[in-house]
Amino acid sequence: MKQLSKKDLEHLQGMFPMNDIQAPPVGTCGTVQYVDALGDIGILWDNGSRLSIVLEAGDQIRRV
C-alpha cells in the first residue's frame, strides 16, 4: 500500500472535513496495545474505547 504524501493527505482532509465523534476527549489516557505495519497505534482507552491513533492523519498523542 502506497502512503499518501502530506500534500495529498491535506487535500483529502480539506475535501472531506470531519470531526471524529468516536475520538476520546482530549486528556483521556490509555494503554498502547500494538503498533501495526503502517505505524498506526492501537490504544485501549481508559474510558473503555478501543481506537487507533493515525499519526499520518494528524492524530496526536503523548507518552506519560
Looking at residue 8, what is its pLDDT?
84
Task: Kindly report the pTM of this predicted structure.
Answer: 0.65
Task: Please say whether the beta carbons of 59 and 53 come within 8 A.
Answer: yes
**What's the gap between Cα 14 and its chain centre?**
17
Task: Please say whether the beta carbons of 53 and 5 come within 8 A.
Answer: no
Distance CA 31, CA 29 (A): 7
DSSP assignment of 24-57 equals PPTT--EEEEEE-TT--EEEEETTS-EEEE-GGG
| Per-residue pLDDT tens over the stretch 5-53 | 888 878 877 777 667 777 888 889 999 999 999 889 999 999 999 999 9
